[in-house]
């Protein structure tokens, strides 16, 4: 079992729709959870972090964390073509582990 | 967010040569920096954790004698790929953790694309 699992996608959504990205992790001792966006050929860019159960909203982005289910998600509202990228989930316990990423395509 | 720079952004070298990549935190001090490698369409793979003033901690399977890491100051870490071979061609990315930040978040440098001929 991978330590951090993400659906590789691609996930395709129409412009203006909600994109839902999911991530599960295996280490129950994980403390902090991060979502990064990575455009092709570029390095990851931090979008959000969350460390308490529940939802955290920042603009069009909402991170959701459920530690009991070892699940973290990212919702992108009003998706734009510029949101098309690979989204990496990162989980930090003793060290930070990255998922393989989910490719998102937003169709204009 | 905090700014992390890397130099060079890309490098092409012949097999057998050594290549040094610099990672700098521009507006904060980073006691810990991380070096990742990313092959096409794959995720980031942590190579080593670089601690200022002490030896780096390498991940399993990463040759410490091949990938030399020096963290000489609170703002600079270097990765030297010694005797590079074509299979070392990859995207190398460093990141630095903001100590004392809200959640000790990590910020990434822009990456260095290494091509070994």
User: Tens digits of per-residue pLDDT, A75-102?
Assistant: 999 999 999 999 999 998 777 889 999 9
Q: Is the pLDDT of residue B47 over 70?
A: yes
The residues pairing with A78 across neighbouring beta strands, listed in sequence order, are: none
List of residues 6+ apart from A65 with CB closer than 8 A: A33, A50, A51, A52, A53, A54, A56, A71, A72
User: What gap in Å lies between CA A27 and CA A93, rounded to an integer?
Assistant: 7
Could you give the percent of chain B with pLDDT greater than 90? 64
In the block, tokens 């699992």 appear at: A5
Per-residue pLDDT band for B14 (boundaries 50, 70, 90) equals: very high
Over residues B79-99, the mean pLDDT reads 92
Per-residue pLDDT band for B52 (boundaries 50, 70, 90) equals: confident
Q: Which residues of chain A have pLDDT under 50?
A: none
Q: Closest partner residue to A44 among B49, B108, B113, by Cβ?
A: B108
Q: Closest partner residue to A46 among B49, B105, B110, by Cβ?
A: B105
For residue B40, the model assigns a pLDDT of 85
For residue B103, the model assigns a pLDDT of 58
Interface check for B16 against chain A (CB to CB < 8 A): the answer is: no
Per-residue pLDDT band for B9 (boundaries 50, 70, 90) equals: very high
Per-residue pLDDT band for B32 (boundaries 50, 70, 90) equals: confident
* CB-CB under 8 Å, A43 with B109: yes
Over residues B47-59, the mean pLDDT reads 90
Neighbouring CB atoms inside 10 A of B94's CB total: 30
Task: Please state, in angstroms and as integers, the Cα–Cα distance from residue A1 to each residue in A5, A47, A74, B2, following that order.
Answer: 8, 26, 22, 34
């Amino acid at each position: 079992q991978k330590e951090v699992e993400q659906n590789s996608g691609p996930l395709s959504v129409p412009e203006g729709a909600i994109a839902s990205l999911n991530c599960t992790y295996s280490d129950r001792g994980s403390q902090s959870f991060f979502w990064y966006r990575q455009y092709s050929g570029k390095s990851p860019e931090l979008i959000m972090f969350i460390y308490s159960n529940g939802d955290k909203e920042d603009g069009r982005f909402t991170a959701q964390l459920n530690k009991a289910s070892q699940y973290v998600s990212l919702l992108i509202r009003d998706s734009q073509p510029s949101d098309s990228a690979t989204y990496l989930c990162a989980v930090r316990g003793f060290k930070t582990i990255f998922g393989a990423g989910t490719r998102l395509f937003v169709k204009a | 967010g905090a700014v992390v720079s890397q130099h060079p952004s890309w490098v092409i070298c012949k097999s057998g040569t050594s290549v040094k990549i610099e990672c700098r935190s521009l507006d904060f001090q980073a006691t810990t920096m991380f070096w990742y490698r990313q092959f096409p369409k794959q995720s980031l793979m942590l190579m080593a954790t670089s601690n200022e003033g002490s030896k780096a901690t390498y991940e399993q399977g990463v040759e410490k004698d091949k990938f030399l890491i020096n963290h000489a100051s609170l703002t600079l870490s270097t990765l030297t790929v010694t005797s590079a071979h074509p299979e070392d061609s990859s995207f190398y990315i460093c990141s630095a953790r903001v100590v004392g930040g809200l959640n000790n978040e990590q910020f990434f440098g822009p990456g260095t694309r290494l091509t070994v001929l």
